[in-house]
Amino acid sequence: MAEVEPLSTWDMMVYGSRVLLALVVVIPLLYYGLRVIGRRVTVSRSIHGYIEIVDVLHLGGGNQLLLARVAARVLLLSVSKDRTSLLWEGPAEEFDFKARPMQDRLPPDLRQWVERWRKGQRGDGQGDDG
């Protein structure tokens, strides 16, 4: 068998710096690459296309508002860690999903609900009591 010469301190430092550089470059690339792939894999359409998540508003603390289109209906859902609640339901014909949503394009009853919710969020005592 051939004898193996021991590595010098300089060689160990070179190998160590290469490993450190590889970790500094590879780990962030893996992280961001998997995030991008994860977003593309998470599809907001059902298998047959009858259910679609149109928009998501993250409220923090694991709470979200979801605007979902189910066949010919539009649903506004409140989603938390513990439960999902239906807040509003209306016909899909009232929405122009291709255009950017604006306050004046909302159906009147949904607009009223949003205004009541906003007042409740500001803490002015006029929340959604009934």
Tell me if 79 is assigned to some domain.
Answer: yes
Based on the domain organization, do 61 and 16 belong to the same domain?
no
Instruction: Identify the segments of the chain with pLDDT beneath 70.
Output: 1, 39-46, 97-106, 121-130
Tell me if 7 is assigned to some domain.
Answer: no
The phi and psi torsions of 113 (rounded to 5 degrees) equal -65, -45
Based on the domain organization, do 34 and 72 belong to the same domain?
no
pLDDT in tens, 13-38: 999 999 999 899 999 998 888 887 77
The phi and psi torsions of 78 (rounded to 5 degrees) equal -100, 120
Distance (Å, whole) CA 16 – CA 112: 63
CA 12 to chain centroid, in Å, comes to 45
At a CB cut-off of 8 Å and minimum separation 6, what does 114 contact? 103, 106
Kindly tell me the sign of the dihedral angle through the C-alpha atoms of 86, 87, 92, 97.
negative
Based on the domain organization, do 102 and 55 belong to the same domain?
yes
Which of 112, 68, 74, 114 has the alpha carbon at shortest distance from 92? 74
What pLDDT is attached to residue 21? 92
What pLDDT is attached to residue 52? 84
Q: Strands (DSSP E) along 61-130, which ranges?
A: 63-70, 73-79, 84-91
Based on the domain organization, do 58 and 16 belong to the same domain?
no
The pTM score is 0.45
Containing structural domain, residue 25: 12-42
pLDDT in tens, 102-112: 555 567 777 77
Based on the domain organization, do 32 and 64 belong to the same domain?
no
Distance (Å, whole) CA 34 – CA 31: 5
